[in-house]
């Protein structure tokens, strides 16, 4: 029996009928008719929040089940049902948000909620109209097609058929020849599906562009920012920040690659070598999934008692599905069930060191969601994404002293690779973001032109990149493995912004661990009650948009990396 069929916590989470929802929203409107009394508004708001928690619990369970096995017909049809109904629910939501955005609504709810909820609703209201309902359904269908295309792909490797998720360990093998052939196998899968990958994205771009224009925006960039809830910064800030990465991080990263390659005795550093730069020997967890999860409880408890209690709760309730298997969607994420008031971690463990890092990452999200579960508004149980990724990435770094528990003597190598990887990630993240701006500013481009745009990004942000004899990425196809580009447009610069914040926590922890951990726990408790820059400031961090902050982060990483270089 599959593990997810015995999750008893999920019993009773069901799809609210349209009629129930309509009644719920109708009742909401009736309650507010002709009254300005704040109590009536607050009661209506509380009822609305309940309705949303019901819907969100079912929607998140449906998405989770679907990603656990994209081949199961019952899961697929539930996901199709969700995608088909979502625009109607968004329409209900929009009418409720409009009411709460009125002066009466603001007067009644403002004192308790603060400004952020209104800013979020304002963005939502401008991002939806019934005229785009069909396009939204089509967008969801295309997302499913992309997910299934890759989830179902298997490739022959080392004498057996493997899913792309199961290939992960070989991509980090200490043996260079194994890594190279694993990359060849992986990109052969993309090459076989090249036509569909291009066609799916081409239609996604057209659908998104059409939605934007229907809603009165110039292009999808403006709509995409609203859908991402970018409240306190815009395209200009992001562009300047990317420039800073190009100017400050790229030369440093290029030099890191060169130095690490030289230490490993490599004449050329190929793409398949990048995963092992800074790690000369195998760095893998010393036990299997059960063992890793048990160590996690100890490790988190050592960081802070609140984290230890949280890990114990997650294990007791079995809120994990972490094994890679065929048919499972790729990647890792954390979801939550607002009516049950707990999170759930989804991942694809493959025996590599990434398992531990991914687990810490997703548990960072999960801890924040746990700490924010009783917020007064569903909107505040999760922050916007660039803030949410701080919780996850910071835990990756705050758990550094605990890595001996997972890796034994190889923990030091794990840490230096983690930091080196972060420096290479910042330019990559900027490339993914910049690419999407080009794509949506030029919606009429052909698939071939998009591959050229990506290559232009590689020249700007990843100038060290050498694909050797890998034909598909050499021709500009690397971006097609990046799920976010297909399913969550503009969700990527978020990781780099959050990384710049997480690394500040890391720096602080190096000099005053207790204070850094306390600030982290407190930030998690704030959930999504404020926009990015305000959350960052309140945690004693500096916004990466401030000139010079990227440089400071790089300088701290550089000092730590030279120290390890000198030791070895
Ligand atoms: Zn994350």
- pLDDT digits 0-9 by tens, 121-166: 999 999 999 999 999 999 999 999 999 999 889 999 999 999 998 8
Interatomic CA distance for residues 339 and 56, integer angstroms: 8
Instruction: Please give the average per-residue pLDDT across 395-408, as a whole number.
Output: 98
Q: What is the pTM of this model?
A: 0.95
Interatomic CA distance for residues 458 and 441, integer angstroms: 19
Spacing, Cα 475 to ligand 1 middle (Å): 29
* Strand 333-337 with 320-323, pairing: unpaired
Spacing, Cα 348 to ligand 1 middle (Å): 14
Spacing, Cα 41 to ligand 1 middle (Å): 35
pLDDT at 453 over 60: yes
Spacing, Cα 342 to ligand 1 middle (Å): 17
Strand order in the sheet with 320-323: 320-323, 342-349, 333-337
Spacing, Cα 501 to ligand 1 middle (Å): 14
pLDDT tens digits, 347-356: 999 899 999 9
Spacing, Cα 360 to ligand 1 middle (Å): 10
Spacing, Cα 389 to ligand 1 middle (Å): 5
Spacing, Cα 336 to ligand 1 middle (Å): 13
At residue 1, the pLDDT reads 40
Interatomic CA distance for residues 356 and 417, integer angstroms: 13
pLDDT at 241 over 60: yes
Spacing, Cα 478 to ligand 1 middle (Å): 21
pLDDT tens digits, 184-208: 999 999 999 999 999 999 999 999 9
**301-335: b or e for each residue (b if 16 or more CB lie within 10 Å)?**
bebbebbbebbeebeeeebbbbbbebbbbbbbbbb
pLDDT band at 106, cuts 50/70/90?
Answer: very high
At residue 23, the pLDDT reads 76
Strands (E), 148-279: 154-157, 160-163
Interatomic CA distance for residues 386 and 400, integer angstroms: 22
Spacing, Cα 333 to ligand 1 middle (Å): 6
Interatomic CA distance for residues 556 and 196, integer angstroms: 43
> Alpha helix (H) ranges present in 3-126?
18-32, 38-68, 73-100, 103-113, 116-126
At residue 6, the pLDDT reads 54
Spacing, Cα 390 to ligand 1 middle (Å): 8
How far lies 550's CA from each of 131, 232, 517, 547, 557, in Å?
A: 42, 19, 22, 7, 11
Spacing, Cα 385 to ligand 1 middle (Å): 8
Collapsed DSSP state (helix, strand, coil) of residue 62: helix
């Amino acid at each position: 029996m599959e593990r997810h069929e015995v999750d008893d916590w999920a019993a009773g989470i069901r799809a609210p009928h349209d009629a129930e929802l309509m009644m719920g929203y109708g009742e909401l409107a009736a309650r507010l008719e002709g009254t300005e009394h704040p109590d009536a508004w607050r009661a209506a708001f509380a009822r609305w929040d309940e309705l949303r928690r019901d819907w969100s619990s079912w929607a998140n369970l449906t998405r989770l089940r679907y990603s656990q096995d994209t081949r199961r017909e019952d899961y697929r049809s539930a996901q199709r049902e969700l995608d088909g109904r979502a625009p109607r629910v968004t329409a209900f939501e929009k009418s409720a948000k409009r009411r709460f955005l009125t002066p009466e609504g603001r007067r009644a709810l403002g004192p308790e909620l603060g400004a952020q909820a209104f800013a979020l609703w304002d963005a939502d209201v401008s991002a939806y109209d019934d005229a785009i309902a069909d396009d939204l359904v089509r967008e969801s269908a295309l997302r499913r097609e992309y997910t299934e295309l890759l989830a179902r792909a298997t490739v022959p490797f080392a004498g057996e058929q493997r899913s792309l998720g199961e290939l992960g360990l070989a991509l980090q093998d200490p043996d260079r020849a194994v890594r190279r052939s694993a990359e060849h196998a992986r990109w052969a899968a993309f090459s076989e599906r090249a036509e569909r990958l291009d066609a799916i994205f081409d239609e996604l771009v057209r659908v998104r562009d059409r939605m934007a224009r229907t809603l009165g925006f110039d292009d999808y960039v403006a709509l995409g920012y609203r859908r991402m809830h970018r409240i306190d910064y815009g395209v200009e800030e992001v562009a300047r920040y990317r420039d800073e990465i190009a100017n400050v991080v790229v030369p440093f990263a290029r030099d890191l690659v060169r130095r690490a390659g030289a230490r490993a005795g490599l004449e050329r550093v190929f793409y398949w070598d990048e995963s092992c730069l800074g790690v000369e020997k195998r760095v893998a967890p010393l036990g299997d999934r059960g063992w890793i999860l048990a160590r996690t409880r100890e490790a988190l408890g050592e960081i802070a008692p609140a984290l230890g209690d949280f890990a114990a709760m997650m294990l007791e309730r079995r809120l994990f599905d972490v094994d890679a298997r065929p048919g499972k969607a790729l990647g890792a994420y954390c979801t939550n069930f607002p009516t049950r008031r707990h999170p759930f971690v989804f991942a694809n463990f493959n025996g590599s060191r990434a398992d531990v890092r991914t687990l810490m990452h997703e548990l960072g999200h999960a801890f924040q969601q746990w700490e924010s579960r009783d917020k007064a508004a569903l909107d505040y149980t999760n922050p916007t994404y660039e803030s949410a990724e701080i919780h996850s990435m910071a835990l990756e770094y705050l758990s550094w002293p605990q890595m001996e528990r997972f890796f034994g003597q190889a923990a030091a190598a794990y840490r230096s690779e983690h930091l080196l990887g972060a420096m290479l990630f910042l330019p990559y993240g900027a490339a993914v973001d910049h690419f999407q701006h080009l794509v949506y500013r030029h919606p009429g481009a052909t698939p071939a032109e998009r591959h050229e745009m990506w290559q232009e990004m590689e020249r700007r942000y990843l100038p060290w990149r050498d694909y050797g004899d890998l034909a598909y990425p050499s021709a500009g196809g690397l971006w097609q493995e990046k799920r976010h580009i297909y399913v969550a447009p503009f969700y990527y610069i978020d990781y780099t912004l959050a990384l710049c914040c997480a690394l500040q926590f890391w720096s602080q922890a190096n000099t005053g661990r207790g204070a850094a951990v306390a600030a982290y726990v407190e930030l998690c408790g704030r959930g999504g009650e404020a926009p990015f820059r305000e959350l960052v400031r309140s945690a004693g961090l500096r916004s990466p948009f401030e000139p010079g902050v990227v440089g400071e982060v790089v300088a701290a990483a550089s000092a730590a990396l030279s120290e390890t270089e000198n030791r070895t």
